[in-house]
Chain A
Amino acid sequence: MKLLTHNLLSSHVRGVGPRGFPLRLQATEVRISPVEFNPDFVARMIPKVEWAALLEAADTLHLVEVPKEPIQGYEHDERFLRKMHHVLLEVDVLEGTLQCPESGRLFPISRGIPNMLLSDEETET
């Protein structure tokens, strides 16, 4: 699971609503692998990023050199884009958990795939 994905996921436990975001990340196995850098793609993702959530996740994974916020003219700033590219796309959580901040429910991540299936009682109508 990449951090770009983590940035999008929110808990759907009954009654939690928007307080189900962001999910607290715990990782036991992380893989950093190079991904082809596509500045256009990264630039387009920047406006969609929830920064607080990203910084929190990056912190948990002890990542360094993570930009704190988008800078002016980021679309053309290669250094900035490369750092974002690394954080969002090159860090893959293979094993770990995601925790709903409101209900405490734990969702396991296994082989890089988060399992967010809820039981019948837990789902919102």
Chain B
Amino acid sequence: MQRLTNDDPESWLNAISIWKNLLELDAKKVKLSQKNANPLKRKVGENDIIAKKLKTERMQEIQEKKECQLEKQIEEETLEQGNFTTKRDKSQEELQNGGAEAVDTHNQNDLTFRVSCRCSGAIAKTFTAQEVGRVIGIALMKQFGWKADLRNPNLEIFIHLSDIYSVVGIPVFRVPLASRAYIKTAGLRSTVAWAMASLAEIKAGAVVLDPMCGLGTILLEAAKEWPDVYYVGADVSDSQLLGACDNLKAAGLKDKIELLKVSVIELPLPSESVDIIISDIPFGKKFKLGKDIKHIIQEMERVLRVGGTIVLLLSEDHQRRLKGCEESSVPLNSKGSRTDKPGSTECLNPEGKAAISEPVSSSFAASNQECLDRMPPLGSLVPVECYRVSLGKTDALIYKYKKSHSPGQ
């Protein structure tokens, strides 16, 4: 660990100077307006992408003897919106106390720092978090001459070692990435909502539907990022729609997002009238899914135009049901579904469509490929991508499909 830490002092110093620049940007913006750092988030996102590109080039040179790969990277929005677990998210919330006050140090040697460490998986059996933290902290002190300050450091260094990856990072934001000033009541975590919206390939002039919008979280994120689009949200619950209304008002997006009180299995829209569908399908924990998931997807498929994209957030339960339906000919309909006839196959017949798997260009290709392989085609919906995300207590899957042809062709 010491060797890895001291191996490449250059990249440490680079990371820190980038971090400082971002903080100065932050400090300036804070002085300009008392509003939250949300506009800043977007800008910082851009800088971070550039920073990340530089870093990954450097990364290739780092030798690893251990199985896990040590990557040095700045915690950033782009990573967050990918397919990462939210363990990092939680740790970020924990790290808020360290914070990042405007750094006035001119000289890197004056930095006080603290190392926060989290170990999970196999490595947690060998080392405790404190031990790892201490080793790395001492290595850093020797290398750079920084002073340790456990109570109120300038710089917080966060380390997470798990079975899948090793991360060394410097938190840039004081608040969790998912916090939004413009949302009064949050439903789905905003970062996951944004990730889904970004997968949906939203283009100007598109018609985007969320047929189970709840409090409208996904539509809000999408509308903030892709404003020249016509958004429609639908839900069966009055209270949810009222909450969504409030959120829209708070965000100033009342003119961009229309709400309807309709049921997802009976959408009052003509067939093939919607370009994009993004939806968080109720897991059954907070809200009950009254209808069968297959019926829901069938109706969504109907209103989606050919070539349109659909991005869904599913629980593992849903995935199992969908997959099970494809494999067996016995309909897996939930009880009380009045449209079922005994013995008939209500399953969406894939009609021999092979799954198209596109190359997944993330460092978690292996687990995502496996995820992709388990995606069943649904009628004319062809699987494109699949990501596993953590929602805190549970895991979920983001499925992306494209409609390849009209059903019945």
Contacts and interface: CB of A to CB of B under 8 A. Distances in A.
A55 to B, nearest CB: 18
Which range holds the interface residue count of chain B?
20 to 34
A10 interface: yes
Contacts of B266: 12, 117-118, 123-124
B370 interface: no
Nearest to B259: A113
A63 interface: no
Contacts of B268: 9-12, 20, 116
A40 B268 CA distance: 27
Interface in A32-47: 35-36, 38, 40-41, 43-45
Contacts of B265: 123
A80 interface: no
A12 B258 CA distance: 19
Contacts of B262: 114-117
A117 B204 contact: no
Interface string B350-390: 00000000000000000000000000000000000000000
Interface stretch (B117-125, B228-236, B306-314): B228-236
Given A11-B268, A35-B255, A124-B266, A45 B241 contact: no
Given A10-B269, A41-B204, A117 B263 contact: yes
B393 interface: no
B175 interface: no
Interface of A: 1-2, 4-5, 8-12, 18, 20-21, 35-36, 38, 40-41, 43-45, 48, 89, 111-118, 120, 123-125
Given A5-B260, A45-B230, 8 more contacts: A8-B269, A8-B270, A40-B205, A43-B205, A111-B245, A112-B259, A113-B260, A117-B262
